[in-house]
Structure formats: structure tokens, C-alpha cells
Structure 1
């Protein structure tokens, strides 16, 4: 028995080295690092670490030791939290929903600004811990009371759980602002990636609610706004850019919406979209709405595959407005608060931001747009990771801070 344990222990370094080698080879086989991306070597290194963590997590999941997302959370969270003496942090629960409250330590003579924050991570990754430093920085630099919502995620929980958790936590916070020293006229909703989508959904859902304070503004950082038209130029141009590839995105979308991965190709090709639906909403979903400089001559035209009714029945909730806030009716969009939109040139979701920008502006909503030429998806959370930080990460953080302070 002792010999067996020795053999296993001796084999572990070989196993982990083998997985690392696979991750490096997989990166160079599949990843595309664009010329416009600064610090390419650093990006390659970090992406290899990301692939390595996911590979080990998948192996542990197959061995029924722990799920892949839980393992990635464990690694990420160990690197995340930094104590900030200028911010008081309190873990709370609104019912069953874990939330984290960030309040500047310094006394204030008047109620502070409030920020509702919904983290990214494709509803699989991301947590209160992994976004702790982002929230602490925002609370301190904007002198705001920030509430970060720890919504439930896939694979254990699927749509609409994350939205319901965020909506319920937001309503509770808005009803009790006085208890937290928050000015009801200065509450901002903020989020990145799927958190940006949640911002859009929450602001749309709260339109017309006279029993709650009106949100002052919405901040959406490289949000996912729809998963209907996946043939937009940014999807074609950036589908293999680290850290959000088309393959990973489809895995996350299917996991979040509880759709079997076998329908992935039907979603990508538009076979699940009824023609009357496309004819109605094409005016908002098409790349024709993008500025010319974001459309390239070499891009493939948007063509829908022949309609597949079985695919539609299995995936039709992709067409719900709660999963595609871009297609909300004009009367809803026109009542939304002003917006701050961040898009990254090297992000597959870049065009979602641009489509939503036009959608808002067409209905008279004031939009401040911040475009990052060297930005990539997920860079926000790296703003303070020292060697693994990037100029674009801090630039986005500073831009969000500057916007919020100006409200």
C-alpha cells in the first residue's frame, strides 16, 4: 500500500506537467492574439494559465472531486481579496441572496451615491471574492456605497435564477437606501459582461416603478446584449481571441440557458430563428446598424440557415427579451436612464455594445461611449493584478470612476 502511495505521489508532478504542456499547445493551436493587443507575451502566458486551470478543473469534475467552475473560483479567489483600510466591507444576506456592502470609512455630512454592482463571469465564473477589489476600488474612488450581488450561477442554477436574484436584491436595497446612507436620487447600476446584461435587464424591468427610487444611470462594461445574431463582425473577427472564444461563449450560453450543446451549430447559424421574428427585429440586430469602421470588407454576410423547428423549440428562450435586452420595445428603451457603455476593440462582444448604443440613442437616451482599442474581454478584473494587469484594465476602471463621479 505504501508503495502505491509513493507511485501516486511521484506521478502527480508528471500529471500536472502534462496538463500544463497540453494547455500551452492548445493555446498556440487555437488562440489568436491580434496585433493591436499590447503585451502579447503576457496575454499568452495568462491564457495558458487560464486553460490549465480549466483543464485541471474538468479532470477533477470527471473524477467527481469538485466541479470545474468551483475549482477555478478557488484559484481565482485566492489571488483576489486585498484589504483596503479606507473601505468598510460587510457581508450580508438579503433573504437567501449573499451580498457584500462596501462603504467608505470616512464620515460624510450628506448621503452618498449608491452603486448596484453585478459581476461578470458568464454566470459560471465570477464571485463576490473575485470582484472584491474592483468593488472596493469603485467605492473608494467614487465615494459611494456599493452593493455587490452574489447571484447564483450555472451549472447548478440556470436562467432566470441570476436575474431574479439580482432583481430581488436590487429592489430590497432601493427600498432601504436610507439605512445605508445613500441618496435615492444618485443610484447607479453597474456590471461587466453578463453583469452588463443584468444591468440592462434590471433597468428595463424597473421602468415605471413608482414605489422605488429611479436609477440615475447605468454602466455597462463590454456587456452581452443578445445571443440571437452571432454572425456580427466582432464575432467573426475575434472568435479566437483570449479569454472569450466562440467555443467558450457557446458553452457558457448553453449552460446558462440549460440548452444541450448539440444545438450549438443551430444557434450559431440562426436555424432556430423564425423568419417572422428576424424580419421584425432585424432592424435592431443587423450589422447594418454598426458604424462603417467596424464593418470590414472581408466579413461574411449574415445569412440564416433553413429554419429548424426542433432547434427553435429547444432554444426559443434565447429570443426572450430577458436574454436579449436589445430587442425591448421602444416605449421601454425611451424611459431608461442615461448610460455609460464600454466596448473593447478585441472583444467578440464589441458589436453588442455598439448595437445597444444606437438603440438607446435612437430613443433619445443620453449615452457616453468609451471604446478601448487595445481592450479585450475580461480585462477589467485584472486592473490590480500586478504582472497580469494591463493598461486597458486600469483605463477602463478610471473611465468608469470618472463617469460616476460626474453624475
Structure 2
């Protein structure tokens, strides 16, 4: 969570950073991580706590990268539906976020299936871990057998991540959708969390998306998650949300942490600086 501090008419050029930690697998499984960050954030938003750290309640943002981006997006959706929550979140910033587990054959998943840092097989295993699922399902999920046409539970949600309409031609290129006619309905029966918007914010209802605050989404070309972020940006824009999409052609998953010797990559420094610049201008 990021906030800026105000002192009368003058705003200090610094931010209070509240590291919202949560319990990890295998200690707990979905949705306990969301409960953890929701409880901690609500505690921080109490007037006495904000006052203690001299935080301006009108200038509070939430942010996260990768799995943290997933939780930040889920938290943002949860909070905008809570009429009793005060103060409201001013903005959200999502850094190469994980946003869906219905389609592991988006163009970016196909293009970067064996890319280092986060290959597709590893990402699918992470999802199974998150839900305490069966590793026997991994190979079937890689080819989208969990959301095949005969899996009725997925039918209504599939259109919400139809990348042939949500992504530009410069991204879709020669890639083709992978939608098997028949698959393995048992996967969704045993892991219904795959279709829960709290785990997959990309599939949330339009009525929820239109309530969200100003949003920053950073994506990287060499990342299986690239299209998750691009599609979310498109859905948010269609819902009337003010979105800044920051795409790095030479970026890779996790690159923002590589800013110190001996891994002081240029793209790491540039993504970090771009993110901080947006926060400074919008928070």
C-alpha cells in the first residue's frame, strides 16, 4: 500500500509504504491470503492509525506485483463493493499481475511457454498449489481441458477473457485460441476456485469493474502473464476506468527487482522509475 503525506497546502515528496504481508502456501490456501490482506488493510485505514503515521486519507493506493498484483486487484474489487469502507482507495497499481486461470493459451502463454523466470508449466503448478489441488490436473490444464466447451461452469466466463477481441492484432499475431470441445469436467468440480473472481479478477462482473479507481498496469513482453494485464486494462477501459497501461518490450517477469549489481538490468531500473513516476503524478 502506498500513501502520500500532506501538510496543509504543501505535500511532502515522500510516501508511507505499508507492506501488507500474508500467510503463504502450504500454511494456508485460497482464500485465506485475501482475508489476511483485507484484515490488515482495514486495520491500517482506521482514522487513529492513519493519523499516527500522518497519512492523508484521501490519497491512499494499493499495489502489488505478480501474485501480489493478483491480491491487490482482488482487494480493490472487494473494497469498492463495501459501502461501509472508509476511506476509499484513490488508485491501484498492478505490476505484471496474475489475473486468471481459465486460459493458459493466450498469445503470451504460447509465446513465452518456456521463458525463464516463469514458464507456463510452473505458473500452472502455482495455481494448483494455491488451491491445494491435484498435480495430476496440471497437464490437462495446460491445454485448457478445464475450460473446454463441455464444462458448463466455464461457459459464461469464457467470453470475459476472449483475447481475440480484447487484444490488438499486434499481440494476437498468428496465435490461435485453444478451446477443446471435450475436456476434463472433474477439474472444475474439484477446484471450483479456478472460476472465482477473487482468484481471477479478470473475470469479475462489469458492474464491479466500473467502480474501480484510477489504475496503473505494467506488463512485460517476455512474460506469460503479459496478456492477463493487457486484457484487464481493456476490460477496465470498457467499464469507464481511467487506466494507464505501461508495456515494456524488453521486459520479463520480475524484472523490476533486478536493479542492483550484479543484476542491475536497464529494464529493471526503467520499470521501477516509470512506476514511481506514475505514483508521484497520480497519488
The normalised TM-score by structure 1 is 0.64
CA distance in 1 between counterparts of 2:107 and 2:92 reads 26
Match of 1:293 in 2: 170
1:360 aligns with 2:233: no
CA deviation after TM superposition for structure 1 residue 227, in Å: 0.8
| Matched pairs, number | 276
Contact (CA 8 Å) 2:3, 2:56: kept in 1 or not? no
CA distance in 2 between counterparts of 1:371 and 1:238 reads 16
Structure 1 residue corresponding to 2:269, chosen from 373, 394, 397: 394
Where does 1:260-275 land on structure 2 (aligned, <5 Å)? 260-273=134-147, 275=151
Match of 2:132 in 1: 258
Match of 1:377 in 2: 253
Contact (CA 8 Å) 2:96, 2:225: kept in 1 or not? yes
Contact (CA 8 Å) 1:272, 1:315: kept in 2 or not? no
Match of 2:156 in 1: 280
CA distance in 2 between counterparts of 1:319 and 1:342 reads 24
Contact (CA 8 Å) 1:112, 1:183: kept in 2 or not? no
Where does 1:73-84 land on structure 2 (aligned, <5 Å)? none
Q: Which runs of 5+ in 2 are unaligned?
A: none
CA distance in 2 between counterparts of 1:112 and 1:212 reads 24
CA distance in 2 between counterparts of 1:229 and 1:177 reads 40
Contact (CA 8 Å) 2:121, 2:142: kept in 1 or not? no
CA distance in 2 between counterparts of 1:108 and 1:321 reads 35
Q: Deviation per CA, 1:28-52, whole angstroms, max 9, x where unpaired?
A: xxxxxxxxxxxxxxxxxxxxxxxxx
Q: Deviation per CA, 1:95-118, whole angstroms, max 9, x where unpaired?
A: xxxxxx9999xx9735999xxxxx
Where does 1:145-164 land on structure 2 (aligned, <5 Å)? 145-164=16-35
* Residues 389, 331 of structure 1: alpha-carbon distance in 2 compared, 3 angstrom cutoff: same
Structure 2 residue corresponding to 1:180, chosen from 38, 45, 53: 53
| SS of the residue 1:259 aligns to | coil
CA deviation after TM superposition for structure 1 residue 269, in Å: 2.4
| SS of the residue 2:244 aligns to | strand
Match of 1:94 in 2: none
* Rg comparison, structure with higher value: 1
Structure scoring higher RCO (CA < 8 A, sep ≥ 6) equals 2
* Residues 201, 294 of structure 1: alpha-carbon distance in 2 compared, 3 angstrom cutoff: same
Q: Which runs of 5+ in 1 are unaligned?
A: 1-100, 114-139
| SS of the residue 1:240 aligns to | coil
1:243 aligns with 2:117: yes
CA distance in 1 between counterparts of 2:26 and 2:180 reads 30
